[in-house]
Amino acid sequence: MTTTIKLEEKVKTKGQEVAEELKIYFRERGIYVINLIGSPGSGKTSLLESLAPDLRGRTAVIEGDLQTDKDKLRIERAGLPAYQLNTLGACHLDAKMIRQAVDEFSLEGAKILFIENVGNLVCPASFVIGEDVKVAVVSVTEGDDKPAKYPTAIRVSSAMVITKMDLLPYTDCHVDQMEADAHAINPQMKIFKTSMKTGEGMKEFLAWIEESAAAK
């Protein structure tokens, strides 16, 4: 057991070193990095597709999935350059994977980089990968208990995007409870209620991104 703990500590320490190197790399190039974390189907890729028209020419995306390049292709069709990372079973992206992507993927002209992490609210919350901020994505169709059930993801995130608000009338989700639970864990958290179908909340979320990037 002791050996396992020591090994895990060494792996995490090495990952933190690479993450710090990445932060320096991005800072020197003026690139603001957002790590999107959320469950499968929460709407991470759709969120990026909706933002794409306002971000073209200055934004790139690194897509993380266990298998396939389906989300990468969606992002490219939306007009943003994208790079695919397949973890082949690993539940999160790590800093070494991001360094691989940066080595192979041109970020020329990019001022904002989204990293869409592997779909879950557990593992990605515990690893830094050179990002400036984490953003938690949760949907009303998942239920209102997600912030309370996954407090680490909420604690380490600077913002929470609640998606699929257009479906709220067809669910038993209580958005006020989601907001209250999130703020009980992270009082400073920004919360955006959005719908990719109606456009609700998208201007506000985009404005926050741009203001945060400008303040870097």
When pLDDT is cut at 50, 70 and 90, the band that residue 6 belongs to is low
What is the domain count for the chain? 1
2 has a pLDDT exceeding 50: no
Asked if 34 and 115 count as a contact pair (C-beta separation under 8 A), the reply is: yes
pLDDT at 11: 53
Asked if 91 and 118 count as a contact pair (C-beta separation under 8 A), the reply is: yes
When pLDDT is cut at 50, 70 and 90, the band that residue 7 belongs to is very low
Average pLDDT over every residue of 61-76: 98
- The CATH number given to whatever domain includes residue 118 is 3.40.50.300
Mean pLDDT of the chain: 94
| Residue range of the domain that includes 131 | 2-214
- Provide CB contacts within 8 A for 115, sequence distance 6+: 33, 34, 35, 36, 61, 62, 64, 93, 98, 129, 131
Residue type, 135: V
Give the model confidence (pLDDT) of 151-192 as tens digits: 999 999 999 999 999 999 999 999 999 999 999 999 999 999
Task: Pick the more confident residue, 8 or 101.
Answer: 101
Rounded CA-CA distance 106/29 in Å is 12
pLDDT at 14: 76
Rounded to an integer, what is the distance from CA 9 to the centroid of its chain? 24
DSSP annotation string for 141-180:
GG-TTHHHH-HHHHHH-SEEEEE-GGGGGGS---HHHHHH
